[in-house]
Amino acid sequence: MKQKEEFKWLKEANSQSLQQTLMDLDKAFKAFFKKTSKYPRYKKKSNRQSFRIPQFFNFDDSILYLPKMGKGIKMENHRVFTRDNVKQLTVTKTPTGKYFVSLVVDDRKDVPKKVQITNDPDKTIGIDVGLKDFAVLSNGIKIGNPKYLQRSEKLLKSRQRMLSRKKLGSNNRDKARLMVAKTHERVTNPRNDFIHKVSTAITKRFDTIVIETLNIRGMESNHSLAKSISSASWSRFFGFLKYKSENQGKNVIEIGTFEKSSKTCSVCGHVNKSLTLNQREWECTDCNTLLNRDINAAINVRDLGLKQMGLDPIPSDRGEYKPVENPLTAELAKMRIRAGSTSHGPEKQELYAMRKLKLSTGAGIS
């Protein structure tokens, strides 16, 4: 293609970067024919763009040298590496026009050996994700859903209307597109930060984490909840838990999609077949225990995971679990993770008071 006049511009790019792109296209088509992915789509130039360089790059403290780029490029480091350990470099341009460089580095450290899975309630946790609360833990801690998309939805709609009214190809349209991209970035960056903090706190505190295998794509077919489910980013949260646990030698257990975690009493095992989605609390007809739907589900998730590994469930004779001075609550508070309500109304001052209380006493988040 480089020999043709119409593709002469390909000579301006590093040949290995072009080859990496063809490798990505090959993977995409193979995934499509295996029916594990959709048909590959073209990417707009205004969307997130990236290219990889496997060789012939270099860098020092603040200058990056790339093939066919001429002079070095000034950069700001977030980590310190030696060139010998770097295996690959990826340059990314965001829709807002920011450039980032990520490096694949061989730290030459062995993967930590997995800790032993036990049914110790202080070392094993079950997690039930939701929309009202982002995550509920089996020890009773509830982590509120920040709902970053809903906070910026009004501004996003306004800027998208402005974009739709601009003439195609005009400078004003480019400016309007940039404003929309910046609004999306205001949603994405805080959400990723929130998920990183929550997943870090959980993986540091517990040796074994049990989660559900959710059919999120199928759940998003419910058009009433699709936006909220997508905004919650459960898949990303589970992904962060897995790789951080792997790096620390911790365990992540996944239970089946169709386990009746919400409808089963965690005390006696009775299944409430008539339980509906809007019932947040229910009383077991066999043992008369008043159960919180989400905490009960998290306890069942934990016990199902232990059972899957051939261990006995953790004994439980309690109904409504109220956490008291759990170390994780203080950890979450230090990371400034807002729990409970995320309202911007009269409750805002109360939330700041709760945050100060948690920082000083480590009281339970509920």
Catalytic residue among 6, 106, 107, 128: 128
Q: Which residue has the higher pLDDT, 356 or 223?
A: 223
Assess whether 84 carries a catalytic annotation.
no
Instruction: Say what the pTM is.
Output: 0.80
pLDDT in tens, 6-36: 999 999 999 999 999 999 999 999 999 999 8
Backbone angles phi, psi at 87, to 5 degrees: -100, -25
Q: Which tokens go with 267?
A: 């005390």
Over the chain, what is the mean pLDDT? 84
Position 181 scores a pLDDT of: 93
3-state secondary structure of 243: helix
Backbone angles phi, psi at 153, to 5 degrees: -65, -40
pLDDT in tens, 132-159: 889 999 888 889 899 999 999 999 999 9
209 has a pLDDT exceeding 90: yes
Alpha carbon 232 to its chain's center: 8
Please say whether the beta carbons of 144 and 134 come within 8 A. Answer: yes
Catalytic residue among 120, 122, 207, 212: 212
Backbone angles phi, psi at 106, to 5 degrees: -90, 105
CA-closest candidate to residue 16, choices 48, 53, 41, 49: 53
CA-closest candidate to residue 281, choices 272, 271, 290, 270: 290
266 has a pLDDT exceeding 80: yes
Domains (ranges, CATH) in the chain? 5-105 (no CATH), 124-145+187-361 (3.30.420)
Strand order in the sheet with 133-137: 142-144, 133-137, 124-129, 208-212, 251-255
Length of the chain: 366
Assess whether 212 carries a catalytic annotation.
yes
Dihedral over alpha carbons 103, 106, 110, 111 (to 10 degrees) = 30
Please say whether the beta carbons of 59 and 190 come within 8 A. Answer: no
Dist. CA 314–CA 293, nearest whole Å? 18
Assess whether 5 carries a catalytic annotation.
no
Alpha carbon 340 to its chain's center: 19
pLDDT in tens, 183-203: 999 999 999 999 999 999 999
Average pLDDT over residues 83-90: 89
Dist. CA 335–CA 365, nearest whole Å? 13
Catalytic residue among 122, 254, 259, 294: 294
